[in-house]
Amino acid sequence: MNALRTTILLAGLTALLVLVGGALGGRGGMVLALVIAAAMNFGSYWFSDRMVLKMHGAREASAAEVPELYNVVRELAQSAHLPMPRVYVMESDTPNAFATGRSPSHAAVAATTGLLRIMNRDELRGVLAHELAHVRHRDTLISAVAATFAGAITMIANMAQWAMLFGGFRGSDDREGAGGMIGALATIILAPLAAALIQMAVSRSREFAADKGGAEISGSPMGLANALRKLEQANEQHPMSSAERNPGTAHLFIVNPLAGVNIGKLFSTHPPTEERIQRLEAMSGRARM
């Protein structure tokens, strides 16, 4: 079922990109968009982990540099029956973490220095187990691909907006069925919104599953619940700086690293933290029974 959902989401993003190409350039635009979609799928599969890690200035760390982080990751990977992922550290006072990589054998886990500073061992295990659950569920690849497509569609829509300002959509015989001005306007308004909603759906639906999987891997639902409570408070008080933030990768982190006004569940890249904590507390209660 998880593989089917992933396939449907990728097909939906590809179709959306092709429709955007058709609205802007007719049949030729659709063909070009399909080629771009294929190239993005290939690039995201092979290079998404490197791009994301470099984007956030993460550096690979050895067991000698961060012994507790490294040992906890190794212990949890063994518990989850996963290959040992590469371990990265990001220099940031804001506590957070994410996992990336195209498969469990090519996975990487990254944590900020702020996370290592404020978490006790049980909480750290909860956070890292959550990230390893994403690896085990193969969420890291689909999340990176969704982010790539959403970013590309938004970029194309921005280009269309500039083209309209300079008279780039004045009708043409070779754009049969393209929709002309109406199609371009629909693309500018709806395509980025649709892409963002799909990307958010990918993230939100998988966070609950990763919380559950992480609690099972670590054996401590309350460790993750307490960590989430700390992370939520710390990110509200000390959000990532403008240089550290990237909206295209916000959904990869265990809690949303972006500061801003909460405009409701539909437009959030993460489920409400309180709801996640309540589910983990319920798991802990069932485990004690």
Catalytic site residue 131?
yes
- Determine how many CB atoms are found less than 10 A away from the CB of residue 120: 12
Supply 87's token pair. Answer: 């371990």
> How far is it, in rounded angstroms, from Cα 259 to Cα 266?
17
Q: Maximum CA pair distance of the chain?
A: 72
The answer to whether 193 and 259 have CB atoms below 8 angstroms apart is no
Question: In the chain, how many H helices and how many E strands?
Answer: 8, 4
By CB atoms closer than 10 A (0-12, 13-18, 19+), residue 121 is: exposed
148 contacts: CB under 8 Å, gap ≥ 6: 40, 43, 44, 48
Long-range CB contacts for residues 113-117, cutoff 8 Å, separation at least 24: 113/89, 114/234, 114/238, 115/231, 116/66, 116/68, 116/69, 116/89
Asked whether the beta carbons of 130 and 214 are under 8 A apart, the reply is yes
Task: Give the active site residue among 123, 131, 232, 244.
Answer: 131
The structure tokens listed for 215 are: 């609690």
Q: Active-site residues: which are they?
A: 131
